[in-house]
Amino acid sequence: FDPDLLQDLCVADTSKGIKVNGFPCKEDTNITASDFFFAGLATPAVVNNSIGFAATQANVDSVPGLNTLGISLNRVEYSPNGGLVPPHTHPRATEIIFILEGELDVGFITTANKLISKTIKKGEVFVFPVGLLHYQQNNKDKPASAIVAFNSQLPGILVVAPALFSSSPAIDNDVLGRTFQIGTDKVGEIKSRFAPS
Ligand code: GLV
Ligand code: MN
């Protein structure tokens, strides 16, 4: 999904703070194997939030050699009894998930507002098309774990609830009240549950 590259490789040079469509390339003489290496997915991330998930990202921010290559990978852990990756979208990538351990209830919503959902287990794969809202939940009593791959070096993530209820600056309560057809007092109550970003 990312644009095609015009050279063998282009290790991200993030030292100058310059962005093109992606990052400028490091000089060839400075390139080493470590630019293409990341050990961060070897161990499961620790889930330390009440929503019940933790993700480690192997994208261009952690693996500079991914710059211009149009691919990246996450490892995700889900707590037992409801651990949730809440509804979100990746503006720049399709996602494919492979279950390492456990079982997940997953789904995405099309632009026709149709929910496509399924329970998937260890060794199985599911696809979330680019831009569409999706989620995963672990409804079993054991932890679950997955690898997810993206056809972007930096897919981006927009999580719906915090985007709406803890943006900075905040969205007007009246906008959210009309959107969800609830009173502004209820909007304030929901906002108070999300830490300000
Ligand atoms: C799961 O959907 C993820 O994007 O990590
Ligand atoms: Mn996702």
Q: Which domain holds residue 164?
A: 158-197
Name which residue leads in pLDDT, 196 or 34.
34
**In sequence order, what DSSP letters do the residues of 101-120 get, joined into one string?**
ESEEEEEEE-TT--EEEEEE
Mean pLDDT of the chain: 96
Per-residue pLDDT for 59 more than 60? yes
Number of independent structural domains in the chain: 2
Separation of alpha carbons 25 and 20, rounded Å: 10
pTM reported for the whole predicted model: 0.94
Shared domain for 56 and 144, answered yes or no, is: yes
CB-count exposure of residue 28 (10 Å: 0-12, 13-18, 19+) = exposed
Residues 133 and 149 in one domain: yes
Percent of residues, the chain, with pLDDT higher than 90: 94
What's the pLDDT band for 1 if we cut at 50, 70, 90? Answer: confident
What was the pLDDT predicted at 196?
A: 59
pLDDT tens for residues 137-195? 999 999 999 999 999 999 999 999 999 999 999 999 999 999 999 999 999 999 999 86
Average pLDDT of the residues in 5-14: 94
Q: What is the pLDDT of residue 53?
A: 97
Nearest atom of ligand 1 to the alpha carbon of 155: 4
Q: Is the ipTM of this complex over 0.90?
A: yes
Give the residue whose CA is nearest to atom 3 of ligand 1.
148
Say if 115 falls within a structural domain.
yes
99 ligand 1 Cβ < 6 A = no
In a domain, 190, yes or no: yes
Question: In ligand 1, which atom is closest to the CA atom of 135?
Answer: 2
Q: Is 95 in the pocket of ligand 1 (CB under 6 A)?
A: yes
Q: How confident is the model at residue 197 (pLDDT cuts 50, 70, 90)?
A: very low
- 55 and 151 in a common domain: yes
Asked whether residue 20 is assigned to any structural domain, the reply reads no
The mean per-residue pLDDT over the stretch 61-74 comes to: 98
Shared domain check, 142 and 73: yes
pLDDT for position 133: 98
Q: Is residue 118 a contact partner of residue 126, using CB atoms and an 8 Å limit? A: yes
> 56 and 119: one domain?
yes
CATH code of the domain in which 97 resides: 2.60.120.10
pLDDT at 142: 97
